[in-house]
Amino acid sequence: MTAKQINAGILGTGYYLPEKILSNSDLEKIVDTSDEWITERTGIKERRIAANDVATSDLALKAAEMALKDAKVSPDELDLIIVATLTSDRIIPSTACIIQDLLGAKRAAAFDLSAACSGFAYGITVASQFIQCGAYRKALVIGAETLSKYINWEDRNTCVLFGDGAGAAVLGQVEDGYGILSFDLGSDGSGGDAIQIPSSGSRMPVSNESIEKRLNLIHMNGKEVFKFAVKAMGNTVKHSLEKIGMKQEEINWLVPHQANIRIIQSAAKRLAMPMEKVIVNIQKYGNMSAACIPIALAEAAAEKRFKKGDIIALSGFGAGLTWASCIIRWSKED
């Protein structure tokens, strides 16, 4: 007799943002750009920047603490911690292990997950599998980045896009019919060069020469990424819906990766969703990679925009190239 699958859902959310705000007018003073140019092309007005002595784990810890409090879950109840990031504190140990120690989550397994801007959707998909099969009961998934430390502040095409922040969610068992209903994960490694930090690993270790050439910083082919993203964002949600026989008209909220307002608008159009049903905070924070979706989700939840039973679609894309989506029936009470 086959055991009944456990329903895994979000029990609580949290987020944290650095205090420092870098506005478009601030950027005008350091690079050849303008508020009008940035706003028209990206929808970004300002972004948050971590202090020099603040690491990704510092942001992640505060988001995690907020999520645990919201979920009414103590650190010693956690079985698993996943940190989705491309700006880990160090190559080793993992940022997740640092968080495990700082929280005092002594029972929890911990690892980092690298899927760039799709990372949080990948992370909650992975965590939900452990819960659904009964292996684990409680999991903490964090998307956290300090991208400002990897930006070429002389490149106006990339330095205007990125910001720092962290968002988190606690996952556990929820009632029947609620929680994560479906997911879609994908990748196309042939597009890996479209978004990369060339000198950051064993292929090209960081050296004085690579630093002089700014190869240790983010490089992006904006046109290629844009073409990929406008298709991927909407299509991945459609694939998740198809798996459970759900129609796009049934979606109550879309929580997309916050890379570019035009990409978000394109995804909404593909899904026939009015923009008032799309969670958008790109104007305040810019692109925070793996932190975008969980921060948008946590902010909206804190504002009580979601009601129990709402169908929420998460959709992301990122370096790799990767894409990911999840369909969630919201289980939390207002």
Q: Which sequence positions are flagged as catalytic?
A: 117, 257, 287
Return the amino acid letter for 127.
Answer: A
Return the amino acid letter for 284.
Answer: K
- Residues 253 and 310: beta-carbon distance below 8 Å: yes
H or E element in which residue 296 lies? helix 292-302
Return the amino acid letter for 129.
Answer: Q
- Residues 24 and 160: beta-carbon distance below 8 Å: yes
Question: Distance (Å, rounded) from C-alpha 312 to C-alpha 95?
Answer: 28
Dihedral angle, C-alpha 122, 306, 283, 266, nearest 10 °: 70
By DSSP bridging, strand 8-16 and strand 164-173 are antiparallel
- Residues 310 and 276: beta-carbon distance below 8 Å: no
Sheet holding 80-84, edge to edge: 8-16, 164-173, 139-146, 80-84, 109-113
